[in-house]
Structure 1
Amino acid sequence: MTVTQLPQPTDRRVRVWFGEHVIADYTAEPAKAILYHAGMTRRFASLRITIESVSAAVDEDAADS
């Protein structure tokens, strides 16, 4: 059985972009998100990597649909 937690308003969403395509999407509490962002920045130095609040990401996704 998989337990899925709903994102908290304080959580951050990290995305790794290849052009206009998201190739990695990670949501976690701020401290873990910052560590993930740092790791992805080292791993994918030439790609755009964004970090934003979950509420901003939800608003953006709603506008896209």
Structure 2
Amino acid sequence: MTTLAAAPQPTARRVRVWFGEHVIADYTAVPEKAIEYQAGMTRRFASLRITIEPADAAVDLDADRR
């Protein structure tokens, strides 16, 4: 008898919109929704930097200022 392992669950993605060094939008969702959000933000804020990364890998840049 063959047993199949469950498919790995997709990991959440974190999308951030940056104005210089300041985050002006922060959104975390499943990969499909995060990609849709990133596309919308890219259209709306074409001149700003927009990042997408695994949510568990995101680091709070203000953590050392607290």
**Structure 1 or 2: more helix by fraction:** 1
TM-score normalised by length of structure 2: 0.76
- Show structure 1 runs of 5+ residues with no match: 1-7
**Aligned-CA RMSD value:** 2.3
Partner of 2:11: 10
Q: Give the CA deviation at 1:61.
A: 2.5
TM-score normalised by length of structure 1: 0.77
**Larger Rg: 1 or 2?**
2
- Show structure 2 runs of 5+ residues with no match: 1-8
Partner of 2:51: 50
Separation (CA, whole Å) in 2 of partners of 1:9 and 1:37: 17
Partner of 1:4: none
Q: How many residues align?
A: 56
